[in-house]
Amino acid sequence: MRRAFTIACLAAALILPMAAAQPPSRSPRTNYMTNCQGCHLPGGEGMYGKVPPMRGHLANFLTVPGGREFLIRVPGVANSTLNDSDLAALINWLVPAMGPDVPGGFVPYTSDEIHRLRRMRLQDVNTLRAALIEQMSADRRAAMLGAASR
C-alpha cells in the first residue's frame, strides 16, 4: 500500500507540471478577443493614427512578396504570448475573417513557420508596411491608402 502511494505521488509530481505548462488551447476567436482586440478593436477597424485596420485589408499583404512574412513579424504577433500552434490557428482564422477575399493558393500558416518568422524582429514596421503597400495592385493600394486617410 505504501509503495503504491509513493509511486502515485511520484507520477503526479512528474505529470502535473507538464499539464500546467501547456494550458488547453482556446478558439482563435477567443484568442483574438483576449490578445488583439484591445488595440485592433472588436471588428478589426484599428485606431486611426495609432493602430492600422485589419478589416478589409489583412489579406492584401498576402498578394505581395514579403507580405506573408510581415503579418507574423509585426510586434503584436511576434511578441505574442500565444504558442506557435495557437498563433498559427489565430492568423489562419484572421486572414479570411478580416478579408478582403483571400488570394487563391493561400497556404495556411504552420506552427513551424510561425516559430521561424516571429524570431525575425522588425526594426521599422511603418517603413516596411508602406513599401509592401506600394507593391500592391492599384485597387488594393488605393483601398489601403484610403483607410489610412480616414
In a domain, 3, yes or no: no
Range of the domain at 125: 25-148
120 found inside a domain: yes
Cell digits of residue 24: 488547453
Tell me the angle at which helices 28-35 and 84-98 cross, rounded to the nearest 10 degrees: 90
**DSSP β-bridge partners for residue 47:** 51
DSSP 58-126: GGGGGGSTTHHHHHHHSHHHHT-SS-HHHHHHHHHHHHHHH-SPPPTT-----HHHHHHHTTS--S-HH
Provide the domain count of the chain.
1
Asked whether residue 65 is domain-assigned, the answer is: yes
Residue 11 forms part of a structural domain: no
In a domain, 57, yes or no: yes
* 114 in Cβ contact with 74 (< 8 Å): no
Beta-carbon count within 10 A of 137 CB = 11
Q: What is the pLDDT along the chain (150 residues), one digit of tens a residue?
A: 666 544 544 445 555 444 444 556 899 999 999 999 999 999 999 999 899 999 999 999 999 999 999 999 999 999 999 999 999 999 999 999 998 889 999 999 999 999 999 999 899 999 999 999 999 999 999 988 886 655
Decide if 66 is inside a domain: yes
Q: Is 49 domain-assigned?
A: yes
CATH number at 43 reads 1.10.760.10
17 assigned to some structural domain: no
